[in-house]
Each structure stands twice: as C-alpha cells, then as structure tokens.
C-alpha cells in the first residue's frame, strides 16, 4: 500500500536518509525504531511531502503510484495521516472548527455548509471518547494549553476521526504514563484490525510490549540496519542501538 523505495532525503543540503526501503500494507503494523537523530521524523515528513525535505533519489508509492509530485494536503487526502510528535498550538482554532473543516475537505463536501459541522461533530464524538477525552476538548483551542499527554490523545483522536488508510505515528507514546501507553497500543491494534496500515515510529521500545508488531525496522544514521519481528525490538531493549550495528 505504502512503499518507500531507496529513499534519499536532504534537509538543508545535508543527507539525512541514505536509501531507505520500507513497506506498509493494509492491516499491518510496521515499526521503525532508532536512536534520536537517526532520521525517523525525517522519514515521516518525507512521506508527507513537507517543505524542506528534499527527495534526491528513490520513490514513495501509494497504491503502486508515485506520490512525490503531490503536495502535503493532496497526500493527506489520498489517505495518509501523520500524527506529529510535537503538535503546534493553534490559538483561536477550536476543535469544533478544525475537525469539521478537515473532514469536509477530505470528503470533498462544501466548506461553507455549517449544518454539516454539527453532523460531523456528532459522528466523531465516540472517537473522542475512545481516546479518553471528553467532549469539552472540542470547545478548546487545539493544542493550546494541552499537556503532552492531551496533545498525543488529540492526535490519536484525529487519526481515528479522519479515517485514513495509512496512519503514521511519530512517537505517539512520549509523555504518556503506563495507562496512556496501553491505550495507545490498544488503539493501534484496533486500527490494524480495522484494515489500516500503521507505521509506528518510536525510539522507545516500551510501547512494543503492548502491541504485536508485524515488522520491526531499526533506522540508524539514515539507513535501515535491521529488519525482523519482535525479536529485533527485544534485542534493542537488551543491548541498545549500538549493538545492533556491531552485532
């Protein structure tokens, strides 16, 4: 479904990704783990086509077709969603404004139809419950004054509400307590069962104890240096990333 082929990416003229191959099929949960500054977030941004992340070689395919020429929003509407690591505050923009706007745009509905908003808000309400946020969050300005955990939950909520085909999550568990981590794991598992492709990016193997990944990749210095099953994550947890390279 989502396929990354020999991907080379420059950021500010510096090569960060040096030939990454990766595949995320529907109904699969694929993990990319690695130390900080290894290129994990760059991979996520490059897939989403963020400005400043220049693909110098290789390709990104969605449904077998290259999406390199598409803008970020076009990729998103195609069915990719990125839950970002540090969601920026949007002063004045309430959830009740953002969520319906995004859904209308994604479904190609008229943007000025206000009645639709109410319908959409009613429709997504259970998804807000499922990430453990009450409906008052829709009346709050998005990511303004949110704790780290609240931001993560609101990202997860959006991942559910927008109904993408591929969900990319960049460190969805950082800043969460154990219960939070378990909740994330449960939701990721549900997404997979519902036929979504899940690409989970993390530097902390902790979350992996609660999900059963279909594939674990280790990304170090811009390259996938190891690929396998849960045993790869366990190795990293036991010996650290350096040993992955030497071992």
Kindly state whether residue 90 participates in binding another protein, applying the rule CB under 8 A: yes
Q: Which stretch binds another protein (CB under 8 A): 4-12, 71-79, 205-213, 216-224?
A: 71-79
Kindly state whether residue 82 participates in binding another protein, applying the rule CB under 8 A: yes
- Which C-beta is closer to another protein: that of 81 or that of 235? 81
Q: Report in angstroms how near the CB of residue 49 gets to another protein at its nearest.
A: 9
For residues 111 and 182, give the distance between their C-alpha atoms in angstroms, rounded to a whole number.
37
Output 54-58 pairs: Cβ under 8 A, ≥24 positions apart.
Answer: 54/9, 54/10, 54/11, 55/7, 55/8, 55/9, 56/8, 56/9, 56/10, 56/15, 57/6, 57/7, 57/8, 57/19, 58/4, 58/5, 58/6, 58/7, 58/8, 58/19, 58/20
Q: Which stretch binds another protein (CB under 8 A): 24-32, 59-67, 105-113, 227-235?
A: 105-113
User: Half-sphere exposure (CA, 13 Å, Cβ side) for 159?
Assistant: 30
Vertex 216: Cα angle to 188 and 48 (nearest 5):
65
Kindly state whether residue 54 participates in binding another protein, applying the rule CB under 8 A: no
Kindly state whether residue 102 participates in binding another protein, applying the rule CB under 8 A: yes
Kindly state whether residue 148 participates in binding another protein, applying the rule CB under 8 A: no
Q: Which of 146, 157, 162, 235 binds another protein (CB under 8 A)?
A: 162
What does the binding site for another protein look like in residue numbers (CB under 8 A)?
48, 50-51, 71-73, 76-77, 81-82, 84, 87-88, 90-94, 97-98, 101-102, 105-106, 111-112, 114, 141, 158, 162
């Amino acid at each position: 479904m989502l396929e990354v082929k020999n991907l080379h990416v420059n950021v500010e003229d510096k090569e960060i990704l040096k030939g990454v191959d990766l595949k995320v099929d529907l109904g699969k949960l694929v993990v990319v783990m690695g130390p900080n500054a290894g290129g994990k977030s760059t991979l996520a941004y490059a897939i989403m086509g963020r400005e400043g992340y220049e693909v110098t070689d290789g390709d990104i395919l969605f449904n077998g077709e290259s999406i390199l020429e598409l803008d970020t929003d076009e990729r998103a509407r195609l069915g990719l969603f990125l839950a970002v690591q540090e969601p920026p505050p949007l002063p004045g923009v309430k959830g009740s404004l953002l969520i319906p706007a995004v859904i209308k745009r994604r479904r190609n509905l008229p943007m000025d139809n206000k009645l639709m908003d109410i319908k959409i808000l009613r429709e997504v309400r259970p998804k807000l419950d499922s990430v453990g946020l009450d409906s008052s969050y829709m009346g709050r300005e998005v990511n303004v004054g949110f704790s780290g955990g609240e931001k993560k939950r609101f990202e997860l909520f959006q991942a559910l509400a927008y109904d993408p085909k591929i969900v990319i999550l960049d460190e969805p568990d950082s800043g969460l307590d154990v219960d939070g981590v378990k909740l994330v794991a449960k939701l990721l598992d549900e997404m997979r069962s519902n036929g979504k492709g899940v690409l989970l990016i993390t530097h902390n193997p902790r979350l992996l104890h609660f999900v059963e990944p279909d594939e674990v990749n280790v990304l170090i210095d811009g390259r996938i240096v190891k690929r396998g099953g849960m045993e790869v994550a366990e190795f990293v947890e036991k010996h650290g990333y350096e040993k992955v390279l030497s071992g």
